[in-house]
Amino acid sequence: TQLLEQSPQFLSIQEGENLTVYCNSSSVFSSLQWYRQEPGEGPVLLVTVVTGGEVKKLKRLTFQFGDARKDSSLHITAAQPGDTGLYLCAGIPSGTGRRALTFGSGTRLQVQP
Amino acid sequence: SQTIHQWPATLVQPVGSPLSLECTVEGTSNPNLYWYRQAAGRGLQLLFYSVGIGQISSEVPQNLSASRPQDRQFILSSKKLLLSDSGFYLCAWSFLLHQTGGETQYFGPGTRLLVL
């Protein structure tokens, strides 16, 4: 089983629509990160959320960290074709002694013009 | 500024052949280094990570191995490739490992491996 579950796995929408991607876990994370990956390239960091309940905005992207620090969401307003890609959440679970990021399974977003 | 290189970009190898993928980082010292494998359109599976020269931690049992002969060089190897080794291999580096999180990983361009 995945430590970080992302939903939906795949999303195809029309340009201008809004969408939300979820990243859930039964474990507590000291922080969570969101990456975007385009085909044939490595993931690129979008944001890091650290405080429970924190909301960060990056242009049309809004990221939220759950109050209990077990989940996070990414909301895109008025999606554009340039938003197409694989969105990955990642983090290090608290208290595990783990020293490397765990990545979610990813949400593949396709925005049709 | 820091840069990370991977080569080759694409590789087609027969089953049973050896493998060597190389990753180098420039512009930083003593980085943490990582090897991931990614199935088509899916998340990243951590294979190995290293916090220093000669220090390798393995995440999953497999027929792959990793080595770090120099501070900024990370090599992924196999003596005999399997069909299931096909995938997209990504190297990443990070600076100053924090136990409490907030660590940013910077990824290389990846190597696409096809085992036939």
- In this prediction, residues B102-108 reach a mean pLDDT of 81
Helix (H, G, I), strand (E, B) or coil at B83: helix
Contact call for residues A107 and A10 (beta carbons, < 8 A): yes
Strands A107-112 vs B87-94: parallel, antiparallel or unpaired = unpaired
The CA–CA distances, whole Å, from B18 to A45, B63, B64, B81 equal 33, 11, 10, 6
Residue B102 has pLDDT above 70, yes or no: no
Among A17-21, A69-73, B15-19, B94-98, the least confident range = B94-98
DSSP string, B42-77: S-EEEEEEEEETTEEEESS-SSEEEEEEETTEEEEE
Cα–Cα nearest to B25, from B109, B103, B89, B99:
B109
pLDDT digits (tens, 9 = 90+) for B46-76: 999 998 998 998 887 778 999 999 999 999 9
Question: Quick one: pLDDT band at residue A56, thresholds 50, 70, 90?
Answer: very high
Secondary structure letter of residue B84 according to DSSP: G
Distance from the A102 Cα atom to the nearest Cα atom in chain B, whole angstroms: 8
DSSP string, A41-98: S--EEEEEE-STT-EEEETTEEEEE-TTSSEEEEEESS--GGG-EEEEEEEEETTS--
Find the closest chain B residue to A100 by CA distance: B49
* B105 interfacial to chain A (CB closer than 8 Å): yes
Measured over the CA atoms of residue A32, residue A38, residue A44 and residue A47, the dihedral's sign is: negative
Of B42, B49, B105, the CB nearest to A105: B42
Distance from the B65 Cα atom to the nearest Cα atom in chain A, whole angstroms: 17
* A66 interfacial to chain B (CB closer than 8 Å): no
Of B43, B51, B101, the CB nearest to A92: B101
Contact call for residues B111 and B8 (beta carbons, < 8 A): yes
Residue B29 has pLDDT above 90, yes or no: no
Distance from the B16 Cα atom to the nearest Cα atom in chain A, whole angstroms: 26
Find the closest chain A residue to B4 by CA distance: A42
Does B42 sit within 8 Å of A42, measured CB to CB? no
Higher pLDDT, B1 or A84: A84
pLDDT digits (tens, 9 = 90+) for A95-111: 877 777 889 989 999 99
* A8 interfacial to chain B (CB closer than 8 Å): no
Residue B41 has pLDDT above 80, yes or no: no
Give A106's contacts in chain B (Cβ within 8 Å). 41-43
**Angle, vertex CA B53, rays to CA B7 and CA A41, nearest 5:** 30
* A30 interfacial to chain B (CB closer than 8 Å): yes
* A85 interfacial to chain B (CB closer than 8 Å): no
Give A33's contacts in chain B (Cβ within 8 Å). 104
Give the tokens for residue A100.
């490397």
Query: What's the rounded Cα separation, in Å, for the pair B59 and B56?
Result: 10
Q: How far is C-alpha A53 from the geometric centre of its chain's CA atoms?
A: 15
Find the closest chain B residue to A39 by CA distance: B41
Give B113's contacts in chain A (Cβ within 8 Å). none
pLDDT at A85: 95
The overall average pLDDT reported for chain A is 92
Give the tokens for residue B70.
């120099």
